A and B are shown apart, each in its own frame.
Chain A
Amino acid sequence: MQNTTNTSAGTDTGRLGTTDNVRRTIEAIWHIEAAKVIGRAARLVRQVGLAEEFAQDALLSALETWPRDGIPDNPGAWLMRATERRALDHLRHSRLTANKADEIGAAIDFQHEVASDTHAEIIDARLDDTIGDDLLRLIFTACHPILSPDARSALTLRVMGGLTTDEIARAYLRPEPTIAQRIVRAKRTLAAAKVSFEVPRGEELGRRLASVLEVIYLMFNEGYTATAGNDWMRPALCEEALRLGRVVAGLMPDESEVWGLVALMELQASRFAARISPQGEPVLLLDQNRKRWDHLLVRRGLDALSRAESLPRREGYLGPYALQASIAACHSRAASVEQTDWVQIVALYDALDTVVPSPVVRLNRAVAVSMAYGPAPALAAVDALMREPALQSYHLLPSVRGELLFRLQRADEAREEFERAAALAANTREKALLLARAARCNAV
């Protein structure tokens, strides 16, 4: 092993280093290439589960041979060919043993392709044209509604992000065998239902796209709730979701709601650092130090939102993600809480409640009403929600009501509401904060 001490000329980090370094380099290359390789193989064998196994097998052989022979100049192409070879072997084999017409069709197509393309470069050029389409088919299949939401996200991280089951397990705070099982079952379900490896069309596309966006946003939220001391894989989930959102936006640049989701995630991610105090306490949006918001992400979020707004919409109006992003953007554009356009935010919540009616949206709207028009009309709006079955054990309802009562100088009632909120809160830290808030009512 050569000494890797830095000289003025530097060292070639990719070539030298320990076996461990080589392994990490291979894993990094895999993160970049996995989706393309699996997508290509799935196009050949028309099954995501099998494709993923062939790609894993190719990765294993890279892990065996590259540390010895060195990393190839074009590692992506190497992995692609190794995976294709396995897929082709499988197709040959199934032609001999089975009579699955569709697989034979694919095998013959592929034989023709190989026979007619003598130069690898021609294959590469052809690949470039279909990669985007392969990636789209891949994410639509991994997010298929036939799978449970948990299975969709695990399979998506696996095939679109090249994550290991261990990484996925750490991200979701689950034991590794649970995640491994989940992925195996998901692949089996897709194969058993003969889910075609295709991008849905027409009306089906809208419904299926909603599932893809939902998977990505749930993934983002899972990471967003991570707190200090959690495994670093949890916040990494946010970045992965944001990355997937950007990938889908690049693949479907004419879909308003895809840009809406990207805008929402970019804007929420811009507050990642500001949402936790140096002591590890959560900081509410209105109390955040706006100078700590990530301006690059704010700009990217606002750009994505204007794209969402400029595109034709599926239902004629902005979708729920674009509307939530519009609300987030009102905060991002304001230098302070006072300078926020609360009247506009109330209007956006009204629109959101029309598109996806929800008592939680109406509760948020009530908070905006209090900022725009004062506590009295907001209290009336909250009181209208008191009988909502969905909010009966939701601690934020009494918490918001307590805040409004306090501002209306009805301290005794406010204290009762905060105590009720504390009793409902599941999180101990939040419970403590609410009890402290109740105690402050007495001091007035």
Chain B
Amino acid sequence: MRFLIIVKATPETEAQTSPAPDPAIMSEMLDYHEELAQAGALLDCSGLQPTSASWRVRYEGTQRRVIDGPFAETKELIAGYTLIQARSREEAIAWTRRFPNPCGEGNPAEIEVRPLYALEDFPPSPSVERFKALAGNV
């Protein structure tokens, strides 16, 4: 089972100009991710550039409009992700409990964890088969 750990953006991550924030947080993050890797549980991870470097595509009728960042609603934005493999939901919870506070210990912060759909989660049906073929199993 795969789980996506989403680190929410903060005013600090949004204001960031370099990829390396606080060295203390960085080092805790590295330790944690090394532990994940050592346990064979780490599939992928990355920090994201602030939304000032990003854009959105908005669908309006049949038109598509590209809207450049930055975007204001910080709480809805994400600053990074870690994709892990765990044997069970409980195991994923045990791993994510240890996730270092992305804002530094003692500061209010939140991460969100979303289980990924696996192919087995879809009941077999022709339309689902077609959708899966299109989407791939990413």
Contacts and interface: CB of A to CB of B under 8 A. Distances in A.
A354 to B, nearest CB: 32
User: Which range holds the interface residue count of chain B?
Assistant: 20 to 34
B119 interface: yes
Nearest to B88: A28
A250 interface: yes
Contacts of A131: 38
B37 interface: yes
25 contacts: A24-B90, A25-B90, A27-B90, A28-B87, A28-B90, A28-B93, A31-B87, A31-B91, A32-B94, A131-B38, A239-B87, A244-B40, A246-B40, A247-B39, A251-B38, A273-B119, A278-B124, A278-B129, A291-B136, A292-B132, A292-B136, A292-B137, A294-B136, A295-B137, A296-B83
B76 to A, nearest CB: 15
B48 interface: no
Contact of A250 (B40, B86, B138): B40
A205 B137 CA distance: 38
B39 A32 contact: yes
A236 interface: yes
Given A25-B93, A243-B41, A250-B37, A296 B85 contact: no
B94 A24 contact: no
A27 B37 CA distance: 20
B32 interface: no
Interface in B67-122: 83, 85-88, 90-91, 93-95, 97, 119
Nearest to A167: B87
B136 A293 contact: yes
Contacts of A132: 38
A14 interface: yes
B134 interface: yes
B44 interface: yes
Interface of A: 13-14, 24-25, 27-29, 31-32, 75, 131-132, 135, 236, 239-240, 242-247, 250-251, 273, 278, 289, 291-296, 300
Contacts of B86: 28
B40 A32 contact: no
B20 interface: no
Given A28-B87, A236-B87, 11 more contacts: A28-B93, A29-B94, A32-B91, A239-B87, A244-B40, A292-B119, A292-B133, A292-B136, A294-B137, A294-B138, A295-B138
Contacts of B83: 296
B126 to A, nearest CB: 9
B91 A247 contact: no
Contacts of A32: 39, 91, 94-95
Contacts of A296: 43-44, 83, 138
Contacts of A29: 94
Contacts of A236: 87
Nearest to B43: A296
Contacts of B91: 28, 31-32
Nearest to A299: B44
A21 B39 CA distance: 23
A135 to B, nearest CB: 8
A246 B132 CA distance: 28
B137 A250 contact: no
Contacts of A291: 133-134, 136
| The 5 nearest A-B residue pairs measured at CB | A28-B90, A243-B40, A246-B40, A28-B91, A247-B40
Which of B87, B95, B97 has the most A CB atoms < 10 Å from its CB? B87
Contacts of A14: 93-94, 97
A296 B136 CA distance: 10
A330 B123 CA distance: 32
A131 B31 CA distance: 13
A15 to B, nearest CB: 10
Nearest to B44: A296
Contacts of A278: 124, 129
A255 to B, nearest CB: 16
Nearest to A280: B124
B47 to A, nearest CB: 19
B133 A289 contact: yes
B138 to A, nearest CB: 5
A242 B136 contact: no
Nearest to B41: A243
A293 B83 CA distance: 18
Contacts of A273: 119, 132, 137
Contact of A25 (B41, B85, B94, B124): B94
Contact of A28 (B38, B94, B138): B94
A293 B37 CA distance: 23
B70 to A, nearest CB: 27
A293 B137 contact: yes
A440 to B, nearest CB: 25
